[in-house]
A and B are shown apart, each in its own frame.
Chain A
Amino acid sequence: MTREAVLNSAVLMGLFIFPLWAWVVDEPFLITLATKTVILALAGVGLNIALGMGGLVSLGHAAFFGIGGYAMGVLASHAQSYDPILQSPILIEGTRSMPIIWLVAILTSGLAALAIGALSLRTSGVYFIMITLAFGQMLFFFAISWPAYGGEDGLSIYVRSEFPGLNTLDPIQFYAIAYVILAGVLLFAFRLRQSPFGLALNAARQSASRVMTVGMSPYRLQLVAFTLSGMITGLAGALFADLNRFVSPTMFSWQTSGEIMVFIIIGGVGRLFGPVIGAVLFVILEHVLGGISDYWLIYLGVLLLFIVLFARGGVIGTLVGRQASHD
């Protein structure tokens, strides 16, 4: 096992043991904090497929996080009010069932990622960053000015959605759902990286012209990667909405996009577990520094600046001591 694999297993074990410990000593708040960490990590794993594997610096992933969140909010609010979403031509009712909500969240955010990606990938570099940021902002303003689902105030959901056979209101059971999903998506990302698609995507990042020479389209590879990436971030958004039982336009804000990207950088770009370690550190910092000072984001800013300027591999790069294989 490489040092990175040891570190990854330790993180996965830690995320398994810590909530169990919190459950034994009866600290539900810590379990909720761990759930938040795992869900944010999931959003980061999604972005990492575009950013780490595809080299696509998307500053608009809050769009997919928000769409996932609103998929949950809209379906659950209609279930809450027994008011069908659509009556004609076919009857579509709201739902409280998590698997259905997840499916809708994945499909809608995937469609949005396909559309945004198809337009944004016509460009590259600085343009791509600005355009993804702009599309994220577009959905933010749309969510604010669309009055049907709470507008600026957001949407409160009174009960958490249901999962067959589990009591989702019990923190440890909801944590288990989020943990299993994260582990599954990490496995998916790991397999994707080694699949023919992942290898071709990797090649497209390093040299688009060589990929074209062997008859593959970098545009298509990157569009698929961007769409997959948006779907996973959308799923994370749905879980995040269920965690808080509240959705608001904040999920769409550009700061959310920035924060998801920050997880990846703190952990290490192009590393499978980069976003997981980044999200863990982010939540710990938020909790510890936030308790000390109201202005804890200054410290986060300084830390981030330090990592970008001096410790470019992030935490994993520093601990494992080797550049990520793709550079």
Chain B
Amino acid sequence: MSLILFIEQVLNGLQLGVMLFLMAAGLTLVFGVMGLINLAHGSLFMIGAFAAAAVAGSTGSFLLALMAALAAAAAAGALIEVLIIRRLYQRDHLDQVLATFALILIFSEGTRWVFGSFPLYLNIPTYLSGPVTLPGGIQYPLYRLTLIIIGLVIALGLHLLITRTRLGIQIRAGENDREMIAALGVDISKLYTIVFAIGAALAGLAGALIGAIQSVQVGMGEPVLILAFVVIVIGGIGSVKGALIGSILVGLTDTLGGLLLPALFRQFLDVSSAASIGSALASMLIYILMAAVLVVRPTGLFGAKA
């Protein structure tokens, strides 16, 4: 195996990681601040992708499509927060799981009803397509590189938002003591709606960005949602830093496992069984990583002690 292939896969892992971060950041904020488990976060990812595909299809502009994804997902997020999610904060987790599972059914089938069962396609814009040459002569797709940069910029922006702004102070205060900050005159239900809409917008953006690599179809959100759960379990609930490190760890493990494990098994097995055992094990690798973290630190790498 060549070094260039390895570096390419590391970059692919990084790209998967930062996209997972966009999903996981919203989830972990909603957990941390509102104590809510939201299975419908994957639906917001899907809504972003569909909004982007629809707008790109009618206007031809990728930037407008990204704007539409952000706006549609944020609007959908704010809408379900005000109508439904708000009633669930005081409920137990079982009720939250079921109500958000019901939302998945409604969103998925509703999308199928509007857009049909066939996947849509979202094209990479011409100014972002094609490869770039990185230092060392590595050819890498410009679009994927852009995704890595967008993801890292958003991670930095989120960090600044939480540590440096008034809204960030309120979010951190809300995590610690919601009665206290309500008593200090912060409109807590408005704060919750804003946090939920921010998380939704990030999910929608991730959906649109990923939608240009994969096809845009119903059910695309849930596999990503479950990966984001793994990220949060590894990183620790409520920690944005944990979400970033967990995302990159999961992204790298997934892509490098798919590359290295079959190669490892080729050392002592024949090629075909090495490929099948290797790929089967590689598909389980991130869950094994999660199990290992659980054994060592049940509350995740950066989670508060239970």
> Could you tell me which A residues sit within 8 Å of B by CB distance?
51, 57, 59, 119-120, 122-127, 129-131, 133-135, 137-138, 141-142, 144-148, 254, 258, 261-262, 265, 269, 295-298, 300-302, 304-305, 307-309, 312
Residues of B55-109 at the interface with A, using a CB-CB cut-off of 8 Å, are 84, 87, 93-95, 97-99, 101-106, 108-109
Q: How far is the CA of A307 from the CA of B112 in the complex (A)?
A: 24
Q: How far is the CA of A200 from the CA of B57 in the complex (A)?
A: 60
Asked if residues B230 and A134 are in contact (CB atoms below 8 Å), the reply is yes
* Contacts A133-B229, A269-B94, A297-B105; A308 near B99 (Cβ below 8 A): yes
Contact of A147 among B105, B226, B230, B276 (CB under 8 A): B276
Interface pick from B8-16, B46-54, B160-168, B280-288 = B280-288
Q: Please give the distance in Å from B35's CB to the nearest CB on chain A.
A: 8
- Residues in A with CB closer than 8 Å to B298 are 122-123, 127
Asked if residues A301 and B37 are in contact (CB atoms below 8 Å), the reply is no
Asked if residues B97 and A129 are in contact (CB atoms below 8 Å), the reply is yes
Q: Please give the distance in Å from B78's CB to the nearest CB on chain A.
A: 18
- Residues in A with CB closer than 8 Å to B101 are 258, 261-262, 304
Q: Is residue B130 within 8 Å, beta carbon to beta carbon, of the partner chain?
A: no
Asked if residues B105 and A144 are in contact (CB atoms below 8 Å), the reply is no
Asked if residues A254 and B222 are in contact (CB atoms below 8 Å), the reply is yes
Contact of A295 among B37, B113, B233 (CB under 8 A): B113
On chain B, the number of residues with a Cβ less than 8 Å from chain A's Cβ atoms is 45
> Could you tell me which B residues sit within 8 Å of A by CB distance?
31, 35, 37, 84, 87, 93-95, 97-99, 101-106, 108-110, 112-113, 222-223, 226, 229-230, 232-233, 237, 276, 279-280, 282-284, 287, 290-291, 294-295, 298-300, 306
Q: How far is the CA of A133 from the CA of B103 in the complex (A)?
A: 17
Asked if residues A295 and B294 are in contact (CB atoms below 8 Å), the reply is no
Q: Please give the distance in Å from A245's CB to the nearest CB on chain B.
A: 25
- The 9 residue pairs across chains A and B that have the minimum distance between CB atoms: A301-B105, A138-B287, A304-B102, A301-B106, A141-B283, A130-B229, A305-B102, A301-B102, A298-B109
